Amino acid sequence: MNIGEIPTNTLTAVVTLLGGHVPGLTQDILIDALKQYEANAAAVGVFNSDGLLTIEEAAKRLKVSRRTIFSWIESGKLKTIHFSKRSVRIPSSELVRFVRSFPQ
């Protein structure tokens, strides 16, 4: 469901229900929080939440070339784990962090 499609009476009911536990909660604050959650969930949903990815797997998930992944690694934008000189993995949590670093 699109956040903009949530009926006003539902938002009012949620704000009323949570108001005692979340001081200052308004419909606008709730909508902003839901939008942030939706954006984060979309980013996380693209990736395996735990585990290590190969360069190839990371490139496929971000729909970029392997060269682009290597460029981001070399520039320090993307952190990796090196098991040996030729064995490099990218933690999926690092991929999520990297994607979230871009403006929405």
pLDDT tens digits, residue range 43-84? 555 554 458 899 999 999 999 999 999 999 999 999 999 888
Which residue in the block uniquely carries the two structure tokens 């729909």?
A: 63
For residues 19 and 40, give the distance between their C-alpha atoms in angstroms, rounded to a whole number: 24
Q: Which of 12-16, 25-29, 42-46 has the lowest mean pLDDT?
A: 42-46
Q: Which pLDDT belongs to residue 48?
A: 47
Domains recognised in the chain with CATH numbers? 3-45 (no CATH), 52-100 (1.10.10)
For residues 14 and 98, give the distance between their C-alpha atoms in angstroms, rounded to a whole number: 33
For residues 50 and 64, give the distance between their C-alpha atoms in angstroms, rounded to a whole number: 21
